[in-house]
Amino acid sequence: MGHAPASRDALTSRILPQMVLSDKSNPLTRPHTPLSSDLTVAEKAAARFSVKGNAIVTGGCGNLGIEAACALLEHGASGVSLFDVNPAQAQDVVDRLRYDFPSAKIITKKVDVRDQQIVQAAVAETAGELGSLDILLCFAGVVDCNHALDIALEEWKRTLDINTTGSWLCAQAVAKHMIEQGTGGSIVFTASISGHSVNFPQPQISYNVSKGALLQLKSSLAAEWARYGIRVNSISPGYMDTVLNEGPGLEEARKLWYSRNPMGRMGDPSELTGVVVLLCSRAGRYINGADILVDGGGSVF
């Protein structure tokens, strides 16, 4: 049975919860201690973009997830947990990561981000195996192109469940561990140019809505969780040269995408890594609630 509607008296007498912001005395949100003057110029440059601790990457065995995980490891991450609905498909890539970074702990978890119990269990296992949770990158996502009049309810739900609700479930589970640790952290959602404007020529309303919602999710959590030292940001890629945008059936659309972009092409997955490192390193200490467009300038039109 559903809940009975709240009475008017109950509505008018309710007390709203109050958001709590940080203050200057909070060690979790203070500026970093300045880099030592004993460091060389090269050492300071490296330290500025150094990544500390362990990361969870959802959609971690896809093109974007693997590139991001590799970048974090290159910049000093000590461990990475790759969440993927089918990690076995990328075993060779994972093996290569382990070979390239022998001192890092690299694990995989079979995770459907729509399933709260599975997400919570995988996050707890990762915290136990790696020792801490310091970074969450959400790359798990699907795209669905259909005319709005033709979309079935189940298709609509699937897109939002994976892209939006899945990101939320992972963020909530990870944030609880970060707060328990008391060491802060960085959460990065993958939004999209589709969260800012309507794509053309393909109709993809469910995807656009799912990504637009992520922008507000990012901002809301950035406001609520800053006091715990958790920074929440998002990246909005343009069209990226991944399997999602391959195939002869997309040739005409690709020509149009190129023609509407100042750089005349799609992005390479590696071109997201600079923003990932920025948001997860000491260089991004005061970046919170931001969305960074990485689209070759396509959104200027």
Q: If you average pLDDT over every residue of the chain, what do you get? A: 92
Task: Report domain extents, the chain.
Answer: 40-295
Which residue of the set 78, 81, 167, 192 is catalytic? 192
Closest Cα to residue 32, out of 289, 286, 209, 290? 286
Catalytic residue among 78, 109, 206, 211: 211
40-295 sits in which CATH class?
alpha beta
Name which of 63, 228, 220, 74 is nearest 139 in CA terms.
63
281 in catalytic set: no
Residues 6+ apart with CB under 8 A from 64: 139, 190, 237, 240, 242, 269, 272
44 a catalytic residue: no
Cis preceding-peptide flag for 201 (omega within 30 of 0): yes
CB atoms within 10 A of CB 200: 10
With pLDDT > 70 as the criterion, what percentage of the chain qualifies? 97
CA distance 155 to 144: 8
What is the 3-class SS of 7-25, one letter each residue? CHHHHHCCCCCCCCCCCCC
Q: Pick the catalytic residue: 81, 194, 206, 207?
A: 207
Task: Specify whether 192 is catalytic.
Answer: yes
Q: Starting at the edge strand that comes first in sequence, how are the strands of the sheet with 185-190 ordered?
A: 105-110, 79-84, 54-58, 135-138, 185-190, 230-237, 291-294
pLDDT of residue 252: 80
pLDDT band at 4 (very low <50, low <70, confident <90, very high): low
pLDDT in tens, 231-256: 999 999 998 887 666 677 778 888 88
